[in-house]
Chains A and B, each alone.
Chain A
Amino acid sequence: MISCRNLTRRFGSFTAVDSLDLEVAEGAVCAFLGPNGAGKSTTVKMLTGLLPPTSGSVEVCGLDVVHHALEVKRIIGVLPEDLGLFDDLTVEEHLLLTGSVYGIPKAETKLRVAQLLHALSLEHGRNTFAAACSHGMRKKTAFAMALLPNPRVLFLDEPFEAIDPVTSKIMRDLLAAVARRRVTVFLTSHILSVVEQIATQVVMIRKGKIVWDSPPSGLPQALEQHYFDLVETPVVEELSWLGSPRS
C-alpha cells in the first residue's frame, strides 16, 4: 500500500532522510518512531507529496506520489505536523470544506461532519475559529479532516501528542477500527505506550536511516527499552543548582 525505494531528501549538505526503503501492507498500522530531527516528519511530507524527494520513489496505492500528486491526494487523509488549519475557518467549516473539495455529496458530508464532531467531542466548539481553538481542539479538527473523505491510507504526524486521555482513547479505537476495514495507517509518535497498543508494524529511524522494521512480535525486548538501545539513550544530567539554597 505504501512503498518507498531509496527515498532520500537533502537540505543543502544535510541529509534528512537517507536511502529509505519501506513497505507497508494494506490494513497495517505502521508506527514510525524516532527522536526529534531524525527525519520522521520529512518522510511523512515526502509520502504525502508535501515535499519532493531529492532522489528515490514513493508509491501509495500503486500511484507515484510525485507524478500523480492529485490522484494520491484524493485517496489519502493527512494529519500534518503543523495541523494545516486556516485561522479564518471554524471547526465545522474546516470539515465542510473537506467534504466539498473531495466531492462528497452535501447530505453525506453533513452526516459525516455531525458524526465526527460527536465522536471527537467537538460539538461545543463547532463554531469556534481555528485561531481561537485550544491545541487539542485544533488537533482533533485536523484528525477529523483526515478521516472525513474516507481515505484508503491515513498519514498521521504525532496524532496523540497534546491530546487528553479520553480523546486519545477515542482516536486509538477509531484507528484500530479503520485498520480492520483495510485502511492503512502510517503514524509517527513519541508516546510509545500508545504505539504499543495499536501498531502492527514498528519502524525506527535514526539520523535519517531506518534502524528497525518489524511487527511488534519481532521486537527482542519491550518497545521502550529497544527504542532506548537502538535510537536514543536518555541523557542523565545532574542539575545540582535545582533545589539548592537560593543565592
Chain B
Amino acid sequence: MARVAAVLKALAQAWRRDSGSFQSTVGNNFFLVTALLLQNAGTFIYLLIGVVLLFPLSTDPLRKIPASRLSFWPLTDHDRRLLRLVSPWVNPVSWLVLGAAVWAARGKVTLGLWAAFSGLFVLAFVLSDLPISPSRSIWLHVPPFPGRWNQLIRKNLREILTTLDFYCALLLSLSALAWRIFGVSLPSEAFLALTILVVLAVSSYSQCLFGLDGAGGLARYRLLPLHGWEILIAKDIALLAAIIPLTLPLAPLAGIAAALAALALGHQPSVERMRPQRRWRFSTGAGLVTGLLHAGIMAMAASTVYFTSAWIVLICAAAWLASVWYYGRLVGSDAPK
C-alpha cells in the first residue's frame, strides 16, 4: 500500500505541475478579451473554450509515468490493480464528471449535457491510454513554400498547429463558415467581429514566436548564416499562412490587417522577452497591458480596413516591415536569448 501511495503522490505532483501550464490562458489575448468584454455574449465562445480545454485535460494520469519505468518497479499484481483503479481520481476532471452526475440525477443538469461532457472525458481518457505512439507523420503534409526559407516556414507552421490557439480560431472560423453555408443571415458587422475574434485567438502566439523552438532550435538559429530579419519573416509568413485561410469565410482583408498589426507589435515581446511555450496549450502572451493594447490595435486596424479603405492594409504592412527590420537586428546580433 505504501508503494502505491508513493506512486499516487508522484502522479498528483506531476499532474499538478502539468495542469499549471493551463494558467497560460491568463496571459492569452483571446481569453483576456472574452473575459473582459464579452461577458454577456460569450456563452458560445466559452463553450468552445471548454471543449478545447477539456480534451487535453482528460488524460490518464498514469501515463505520466513511462511504461518501462512502471514495469521495473517492484509492485505486486494487487498493487498494479489498485493503482489502475485509484489513479484516474488524481485527475480533478474525474471528480467534475462525478459531480455533474449528481447534478444530473437531481435534475440540475440535463442528462444529455452530462452524457456529452462525460463522453468527451472518457473518449480523451481512453485515447490517451491506448498503446499507440502519437504519429507526427501528418505534419509531413504541411505544404512546401517557395524560396530558401521553405523548411523554416514549414517548421514554424507545424509549431503553430500544435497550439490550442489555432484550434480555437479554427472552431470559430468553421462556425462562421457553417452559418454562411446554411444561409443564416448575419449583419455585415458580425463578420468583422468574428474576424477580429479569429485573429485574436491566434494573436498571442505572435508575442512568443520562439517559444516552441526549444534550446536546440534557438542555438541553431544563431549558427545559421541568416540575418535576423529572415528568421523573423519565416516566423511571420507561417503565422499569416495559418491566419489567412481562417479569415477567408469572414473579412479576409481586415483579418490580414489585424494579423500584420499583431505581428508588428508581437516582435518586441517575442525577441526581448522570450518565454518557452508548451505544445497543446494556449500560448502565453506578454501580460495584461500588452495583451489589451495588442487587442485594441488589432481591432482598430481591422475596423479601419473594413469600414474605410482597403489601402490601410498597406500602412499595416509598412508598420510590420519596420518592426521586422528593427527587431530583426536584435535577433541577428545576440538573440535568441
Contact = CB atoms under 8 A, between A and B. Distances in A.
Contact of A101 (B148, B219, B332): B148
Interface stretch (A6-14, A17-25, A48-56, A205-213): A48-56
B215 interface: yes
Interface in B220-234: 220, 222-227
B136 A132 contact: yes
B321 interface: no
> Which of the four size classes fits the interface of chain B?
20 to 34
B165 interface: no
Contacts of B156: 88
Nearest to B213: A86
A93 interface: yes
A88 B155 contact: yes
Interface string B130-147: 000000110110000000
A82 B156 CA distance: 20
Contacts of B212: 87-88
Contacts of A103: 148
A97 B223 contact: no
A214 interface: no
Contact of A50 (B139, B223, B225, B227): B223
Interface string A84-105: 1111111001101110111100
A102 B223 CA distance: 11
Contacts of A88: 139, 154-156, 158-159, 162, 212
B134 to A, nearest CB: 9
Contacts, number: 82
Contact of A100 (B137, B139, B148, B217): B148
Given A52-B334, A86-B220, A102 B151 contact: no
A25 to B, nearest CB: 24
Nearest to B157: A88
Contacts of B213: 86
A70 B138 CA distance: 35
B119 interface: no
A49 B222 contact: yes
Interface stretch (A72-80, A219-227, A230-238): A72-80
A101 B226 contact: yes
A87 to B, nearest CB: 6
A175 interface: no
Contacts of B332: 70
A80 B212 CA distance: 19
Contacts of A116: none
B223 A129 contact: no
B152 interface: yes
Going nearest first, the 5 A-B pairs with the smallest beta carbon separation are A97-B151, A84-B220, A88-B158, A73-B225, A100-B148
Interface of B: 136-137, 139-140, 148-152, 154-156, 158-159, 162, 212-217, 219-220, 222-227, 332, 334
Interface of A: 48-50, 52, 70, 73-74, 78, 80, 82-90, 93-94, 96-98, 100-103, 127, 129, 131-132
Given A50-B223, A87-B212, 13 more contacts: A48-B223, A50-B222, A70-B332, A73-B224, A82-B216, A82-B219, A84-B219, A87-B216, A90-B140, A94-B151, A96-B150, A100-B149, A132-B136
